[in-house]
Chains A and B, each alone.
Chain A
Amino acid sequence: MEMEFNVNGIKHILEVDPMERLLDVLRNKLKLTGAKEGCGEGECGACTIILDGVAINSCIVLAAQAAGREILTIESLEKDGELDRLQKAFINNGAVQCGYCTPGMLMSCKALLMKNPAPTEEEIKTAIEGNLCRCTGYTKIIKAVKEAVKDI
Chain B
Amino acid sequence: MNEIVIKSPTTLKELVQILAVADNNTYMLSGGTDFIIKMRREKINNGTIINLKDLKELNYITNTEDYVKIGGITTLTEISCSSIVDKYATALKEATGKVGSTQIRNAATLAGNIANSAPCADTVTALMALSAKVKIINGSGEIYEKKVDDIVLGSEKNSLKRDEVIIEVNIPIDLEARSSFGKIGSRTAVTISKLNMAVTFKYNHEMVINEAMVVIGAIGPKAFNSSTVANSLLNKKINTQFIYLFEETLQKQVDEAILGRASHPYKREAIRGLADDIMKRMFPQIMTGGELS
Real binding pair: yes
Asked whether, in the complex, the Cβ of B40 is within 8 Å of the Cβ of A130, the reply is no
A1 to B5, CA, bound (A): 9
Nearest CB of chain A from residue B55's CB, rounded to whole Å? 12
> Given the complex, which residues of A lie within 8 Å of B5, measured CB to CB?
18
Q: A40-81: contact bitstring with B at CB < 8 Å (1 yes, 0 no)?
A: 111101001001001111011110110000000000000000
Total residue contacts A-B, CB cutoff 8 A? 76
Asked whether, in the complex, the Cβ of B107 is within 8 Å of the Cβ of A61, the reply is yes
Q: A60-B32, A64-B51 are in contact. Are A19 and B103 (CB under 8 A)?
A: no
Asked whether, in the complex, the Cβ of B4 is within 8 Å of the Cβ of A57, the reply is no
Asked whether, in the complex, the Cβ of B103 is within 8 Å of the Cβ of A57, the reply is yes
Greatest chain A CB density within 10 A among B49, B101, B103 is at B103
> Given the complex, which residues of B lie within 8 Å of A56, measured CB to CB?
103, 106-107
Q: B111-141: contact bitstring with A at CB < 8 Å (1 yes, 0 no)?
A: 0000000000000000000000000000000
Interface residues of A in 1-53 (CB under 8 A from B): 1, 18-19, 21, 40-43, 45, 48, 51
Interface residue? B25 (CB, 8 A) = no
Asked whether, in the complex, the Cβ of B101 is within 8 Å of the Cβ of A130, the reply is yes
Interface residue? A129 (CB, 8 A) = yes
Interface residue? B63 (CB, 8 A) = no
Q: Which of B6, B40, B103, B190 contacts A40 (CB 8 A)?
A: B40
> Given the complex, which residues of B lie within 8 Å of A108, measured CB to CB?
102-103
Asked whether, in the complex, the Cβ of B36 is within 8 Å of the Cβ of A130, the reply is no
Please tell me the size bucket of the interface on B: 20 to 34
> Given the complex, which residues of B lie within 8 Å of A19, measured CB to CB?
4, 39, 45
Q: A1-B6, A19-B39, A130-B190 are in contact. Are A65 and B103 (CB under 8 A)?
A: no
Asked whether, in the complex, the Cβ of A45 is within 8 Å of the Cβ of B101, the reply is yes
Nearest CB of chain B from residue A104's CB, rounded to whole Å? 9
A51 to B75, CA, bound (A): 13
> Given the complex, which residues of A lie within 8 Å of B106, measured CB to CB?
51, 54-56
Asked whether, in the complex, the Cβ of A42 is within 8 Å of the Cβ of B77, the reply is no
Asked whether, in the complex, the Cβ of A64 is within 8 Å of the Cβ of B6, the reply is yes
A62 to B6, CA, bound (A): 10
A106 to B190, CA, bound (A): 18
- Nearest CB in chain B to that of A58: its residue: B103
Interface residue? B245 (CB, 8 A) = no
Interface residue? A133 (CB, 8 A) = no
> Given the complex, which residues of A lie within 8 Å of B103, measured CB to CB?
42, 45, 48, 55-57, 108, 130
Interface residues of B (CB under 8 A from A): 3-6, 8, 29, 32-33, 36-37, 39-40, 45, 49, 51, 53, 77, 100-104, 106-107, 189-190
Q: Can you name 7 A-B residue pairings with CB atoms under 8 Å? A: A19-B39, A19-B45, A40-B40, A42-B103, A56-B107, A61-B36, A130-B101
Interface residues of A (CB under 8 A from B): 1, 18-19, 21, 40-43, 45, 48, 51, 54-57, 59-62, 64-65, 108, 126-131
